[in-house]
């Protein structure tokens, strides 16, 4: 099971530190996080289940947004970092 880290903005709605979730894909991991921490619902993904525009998920340091996205396998993965960037001008 990979160790999950949320940035400080998302930790307000989820676990206060790192956590572990048993999941085969990023999508399953997010489903489980939202089940355990309902406050995360719609903070990471939109209503269609797609990652929000300003959220980045890194699986063992690799940003999945430009590759397989939420379908990314977690087999053999050690860590998942979920970051919510801030937009502005």
The parent domain of residue 12 ranges over 3-84
In this predicted structure, the answer to whether residue 88 has a pLDDT above a threshold of 90 is: no
Q: Which helix (H) or strand (E) holds 11?
A: helix 8-11
Provide the domain count of the chain: 1
Return the minimum-mean-pLDDT range out of 42-46, 67-71, 83-87: 83-87
Q: What is the pLDDT of residue 85?
A: 82
Angle at 52 between CA 21 and CA 12, to 5 degrees: 55
Domain assignment present for residue 59? The answer is: yes
Q: Tens digit of pLDDT for each residue in 21-66?
A: 999 999 999 999 999 999 999 999 999 989 998 999 999 999 998 8
Residue 17 lies in a domain: yes
Element counts in the chain: helices (H) and strands (E): 2, 5
CATH number of the domain where residue 9 is located: 3.10.20.30
For residue 89, is it within any domain?
A: no
Exposed / middle / buried, residue 87 (Cβ in 10 Å: 0-12, 13-18, 19+): exposed
């Amino acid at each position: 099971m990979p160790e999950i880290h949320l940035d400080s903005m998302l930790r307000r709605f989820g676990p206060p530190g790192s956590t572990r979730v048993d999941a085969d894909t990023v999508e399953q991991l997010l489903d489980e996080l939202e089940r355990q921490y309902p406050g995360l619902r719609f903070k990471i993904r939109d209503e269609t289940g797609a990652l929000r525009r300003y959220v980045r998920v890194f699986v063992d340091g690799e940003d999945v947004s430009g590759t397989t996205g939420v379908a990314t396998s977690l087999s053999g993965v050690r860590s998942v970092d979920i970051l919510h960037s801030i937009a502005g001008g």
